[in-house]
Structure 1
Amino acid sequence: MELPPFALDEWLATYNFATPPIAFDLASSTGPGFTVAALTQLGGAGLDIGEIALRYAPPQGALAVRTAVAAFHDADPDWVVMATGASEALSIMLCLVSQPGAHVLIPDPAYPAYAAMAQTLGLKTQAYAVGGTSGFAFSAKAILAAVTADTALVILNTPHNPTSVVMPRTEIDTLAAALAERSIRLLVDEVYHPLYFGAPQRSAAGIANVVVISDLSKAMSLPGLRTGWIIEPDARRRQAMINARSYFTVSGSPVLEHLAAHALVHRQAILDRLQQVAETNLALLAALIDGSAGQLAWTAPQGGTTCFPWFRDGRNSRPFCTAAAAAGVLIAPGDCFGHPSHLRIGFAHQAKGFDEAIRRIAALL
């Protein structure tokens, strides 16, 4: 099967890798970036990677990095299977549920890879709406209403990309239990955990009938490490995942796993920086929406690094995003997510200059 064009990545690559690059990146869904030097200095003593042997790592990941991941999610290290980013974790999960006629239930809107990868692996996809015409919200009842006899897996992304809504852990528990009665697994994508703007929330890891995937790219702001993981309490299912990874990528890099473990051990410094940047920029973004003279509406972010405002008059946002890029501000058009009147704005990547980017957007409005 031929993969469809990845419209979001094509849009981002057009500007992020241009010469000169875009001035203000509000299309990114990651936190503020790090250099290798800054990462290795976390904790003060410095991290020496010079003596790491450049050999294969265990397919499930080295114990040190799995222990660090487990502490991040309040889980057992034995439950952790490492992956090359959450993208490989997702591919492994989809591969293991693939069978003739099987369906995967995914959110709408959603990260485009969910549907594309599922369909490439021979799965059919069905969507459940994240909210309605007046805004976005998760509902376990609405998700269950979309389940059919052919549903093999339900995907829940919370905090959600692109809308920033959150499903409370208690409701995840209710949803997972109801799906268990139908022998359907719940996959919870937690790449934006633990960035919340209300009460903090525990990871869904450990909830019965839940498998969690996550990575270092989003909340941990380290996409260049290409390090992700699956958390699965069931030993039999976990062994199938390890076997699949042996076929997919053999193993991770011991260098990247070493850096990943170091980052997770010192995660509080990374997460504190992310929270400060996100909250500061979110206040400026809220002022932009409020001052748009009714042109824009949104669901205020509950967690994560992105939001999905929309033009009230229903216009296609791509011309506006093109004009914003010409003014030096990169925003992702909503058609990349199948919702042309929306815009995805990332508010946590740009640690400096966000105020100027907001001024330029306001001038265009």
Structure 2
Amino acid sequence: MDLPPFLLDHWLAAHEFATPPIRYNLAASTGPQWSVDELLALGGGKNIGGVKIGYAPPEGGKRLREAIGGFLGVDPEWVVVTTGASEALLILLCLATRPGGNIVLPAPAFSPFAVMADAWGLGVRTYTLSRDDGFRQNAEAIFAAADGDTALALVNTPHNPTGSVMPFEEIEVLAQKLGERGVPLVVDEVYHPLYFGRQSPTAASVPNAIVMGDMSKALSLAGLRMGWLVIANPDLRKRAIDARSYFTISSSPVLEDLAAHALDNHKTLLDRLSAVATTNRAALVAFMKRVSDIVAWAEPEGGTVAFPWFKDGRDSRPFCQALAAAGVLVAPGDCFGMPEHFRVGFAAQADGFGDALTIFERTLRG
């Protein structure tokens, strides 16, 4: 099949990898970058010279699964390592495919959710996260979107691109109600545990919930391409491991070793992300007050992104192009099917965020 253009990646690639690169990247949804040397220096130092460059087990090596299990507080046997959350999603869609089946997804959402579901022959049913309600996620609306042909329902919390957080109690209720219909709940937790108010536990131990996670977002290590599924059901987990064997065979043992070392030192990684995100979010709150005559937003409750919109309903892409020309990158809302919006990341830019907002305001009022 012909896949639609991946507008977000096209936009990011045109600017992040340009020569010279964009000066201030407020389009990124990750945290502050780490170098390999910085990562290896954590915890008193790490040497990867002895790692044998062969295959790792398809489910992931024991050490890495133990590190992920420890990070989430679950049995390491429940963990299946994947090539980022992208492969985790593909595995779940592959296993859910059936004639006439569908998946329930949020709107707006990260665009590969719907595109990949369609590629696997699954219909898409959506539940709307309304900006008038702060993009709130609730069990009743999500459950109402499911029908007798629903094979999976997915929630993303903290949510990309809006930053909303689904309360843990709502996740438990939704997982139970879906379970009564035999429908698994997939919880995309790539931004866990970055919250700005009430902290939320992982859904990894919730009955009938399958958790997707990775090291790209909250752990700020996108280049490791390391993710996971947490599946308590042993039969489904076995099928997921088989699917991974067909898809990618295994991870790189070198990257698995680096990932396990990073997870052993996850507090350091999370503390750095939290410091940058908290400081920059406060600056963004003040900025949004100053420009509230032009744009509106819902304050993000977790994660690293927000999703403001133009109050007059204009298409944001021309503004995003002008802002990029001035040296500041944000992502146009048409990448998420909502052209009047734009996504702002506030955790990747460890330095210069205030300067970027100054340019942002000048361009906005220009």
Regions of 4+ moved over 6 Å: none
Secondary structure at the counterpart of residue 42 of structure 1 = helix
Spell out, residue by residue over 1:97-122, the C-alpha distance to the aligned partner (whole angstroms, 9 max, x if none): 00111001110000011001111111
* 2:131–2:298 CA contact under 8 A, matched in 1: no
Matched residue, 1:202: 201
User: Given residue 248 of structure 1, which amino acid in structure 2 is its aligned partner?
Assistant: F
User: CA 1:65 to 1:222, structure 2 compared with 1: closer, same or farther past 3 Å?
Assistant: same
Alignment of 1:2-151 (within 5 A): 2-43=2-43, 45-133=44-132, 135-151=134-150
Secondary structure at the counterpart of residue 42 of structure 2 = coil
Displacement of 1:131 after TM fit?
2.4
Alignment of 1:146-165 (within 5 A): 146-165=145-164
Moved more, 140-149 or 253-262: 140-149
Alignment of 1:190-229 (within 5 A): 190-229=189-228
Residues in 2 aligned to 1:199 and 1:74: alpha-carbon distance in whole angstroms: 19
Spell out, residue by residue over 1:183-220, the C-alpha distance to the aligned partner (whole angstroms, 9 max, x if none): 11100000000000012111000100000010000000
Residues in 2 aligned to 1:71 and 1:53: alpha-carbon distance in whole angstroms: 24
User: Given residue 329 of structure 1, which amino acid in structure 2 is its aligned partner?
Assistant: V
User: Given residue 242 of structure 1, which amino acid in structure 2 is its aligned partner?
Assistant: I
Residues in 2 aligned to 1:104 and 1:214: alpha-carbon distance in whole angstroms: 19
* 1:131–1:138 CA contact under 8 A, matched in 2: no
Matched residue, 2:266: 267
Counting matched residue pairs gives: 364
Displacement of 1:135 after TM fit?
3.2
Spell out, residue by residue over 1:211-238, the C-alpha distance to the aligned partner (whole angstroms, 9 max, x if none): 0010000000000000000000111110
Matched residue, 1:359: 358
Residues in 2 aligned to 1:29 and 1:189: alpha-carbon distance in whole angstroms: 15
Displacement of 1:132 after TM fit?
4.7
User: Given residue 199 of structure 1, which amino acid in structure 2 is its aligned partner?
Assistant: R
Spell out, residue by residue over 1:227-276, the C-alpha distance to the aligned partner (whole angstroms, 9 max, x if none): 00000011111000000000000000000000000000100000001001
**Runs of at least 5 residues in structure 2 that lack an aligned partner in the other structure:** none
Secondary structure at the counterpart of residue 41 of structure 1 = helix
Displacement of 1:364 after TM fit?
1.1
Q: CA RMSD in A?
A: 0.8
User: Given residue 63 of structure 2, which amino acid in structure 1 is its aligned partner?
Assistant: A
Residues in 1 aligned to 2:299 and 2:131: alpha-carbon distance in whole angstroms: 15
Residues in 2 aligned to 1:198 and 1:172: alpha-carbon distance in whole angstroms: 18
User: Given residue 29 of structure 2, which amino acid in structure 1 is its aligned partner?
Assistant: S
- Alignment TM-score, normalising by the size of structure 2: 0.98
Spell out, residue by residue over 1:158-199, the C-alpha distance to the aligned partner (whole angstroms, 9 max, x if none): 000000000111110000001011111100000000000012
User: Given residue 222 of structure 1, which amino acid in structure 2 is its aligned partner?
Assistant: L
Residues in 1 aligned to 2:245 and 2:135: alpha-carbon distance in whole angstroms: 39
Displacement of 1:61 after TM fit?
0.4
User: Given residue 121 of structure 2, which amino acid in structure 1 is its aligned partner?
Assistant: G
Secondary structure at the counterpart of residue 192 of structure 2 = coil
- Alignment TM-score, normalising by the size of structure 1: 0.99
